[in-house]
Amino acid sequence: MRAVLVVNPKATTTSERSRDVLVRALRSQVDLSVRYTRRRGHATDLAREAAQEGVDLVVTLGGDGTVNEVVNGLMTAEPPTIRTGGSPADRLPALATVPGGSTNVFARALGLPREWADGTSMILEGLRLGRSRTIGLGRADDRYFTFCAGFGLDAAVINRVEQARRRGRVSSPSLYFRSTLSHYFLGAHRRHPAISLERPGESAEGELGTVIIQNTAPWTYLGDREVNPNPEASFDLGLDVLALRQLRVASTTRTVTQLLSRHPDPHGKQVLRLHDLEEFTLVSARPQAFQLDGDYLGERHKVRFTSVSGALRVIC
């Protein structure tokens, strides 16, 4: 089996020594080539090249951002003709993810341990036993995502966190909490919701303040704790949505409390939840912050979301 390991050398929870251990472990199972990312977006190029070379497996060592880039490289590649036929997922290399970031939502949603060493051990076992599954992805316009997207408040918070990390701050639950409070009270146009959700054949849902989209559960983690607006979201179904109609202090506080409860069930007049959607579009009267898989992508007026079933085979 030919494999490529795509390494983000800035992965927060691994060192050069641990990378060497990982490479030796993988080479005991596969014919491995190691490629390092040098800039944002480089993992997409490396994964696309690997798929076009006809490799059987692409392994990522990095966080959710690295995974997202690799997935987009695989999904936009033109594999060799020997891979034509069968399901779409069969035409592409399989994906294995070694957790190396600060949160690793995608890997943990697949059931992998949080630590890279334990995750590596489980991946090696999956390779030995031929254990894999096919998952669906989400697509926002022309870009794929694995577990979540955001339009509005949560994306704006991610932008603040990324700016803080560039100034040397360490990613932590407390940093996210402070960034959320700061944006909510100082930066958000929360009194004038401007987002509409449009679905084919349905009336539009208007005056939404912020929208969270899930392709699986959970949405994210605070340390070891799941944050799960839509617990029924699944890689095997369409997209799930949680939107808040108004970002008033009382209703928003109530929804956040519901989200953080042991059995989350956000509800109320200001809450819109939709399950297993194949297609919808978010439109805003003013530009909104936009993120995919925890990666801030700037501001948008409009984004079309679709569910892509049976898109990718993963080692689990």
Q: Give 172-221 pLDDT, tens digit per residue.
A: 667 666 767 666 666 656 667 899 999 999 999 999 999 999 999 999 88
Q: What is residue 16's predicted lDDT score, i.e. its pLDDT?
A: 85
Angle CA(227)–CA(262)–CA(181) in degrees, nearest 5?
45
Q: What is residue 84's predicted lDDT score, i.e. its pLDDT?
A: 55
Q: What is residue 253's predicted lDDT score, i.e. its pLDDT?
A: 74
Residues pairing with 87 in the sheet: none
Q: d(Cα 8, Cα 181) in Å, to the nearest integer?
A: 31
Q: What is residue 173's predicted lDDT score, i.e. its pLDDT?
A: 65
In angstroms, the Cα distances linking 297 to 88, 128, 155, 285 are 27, 38, 9, 18
Q: What is residue 284's predicted lDDT score, i.e. its pLDDT?
A: 97
Q: What is residue 185's predicted lDDT score, i.e. its pLDDT?
A: 66
- Positions of the chain with pLDDT lower than 50, given as ranges: none
The set of residues, in sequence order, having a beta carbon less than 8 Å from that of 40 and lying 6+ positions away, is none
Residue 80 token pair: 């060799």
In angstroms, the Cα distances linking 144 to 71, 189, 207, 265 are 7, 28, 26, 27
What is the number of other CB atoms lying within 10 angstroms of the CB of residue 163?
12
Which residue carries 């399989």 as its tokens? Answer: 94
Which residue carries 């020997």 as its tokens? Answer: 82
Q: What is residue 316's predicted lDDT score, i.e. its pLDDT?
A: 86
Cβ distance 266 to 258 under 8 Å? yes
Cβ distance 255 to 270 under 8 Å? yes
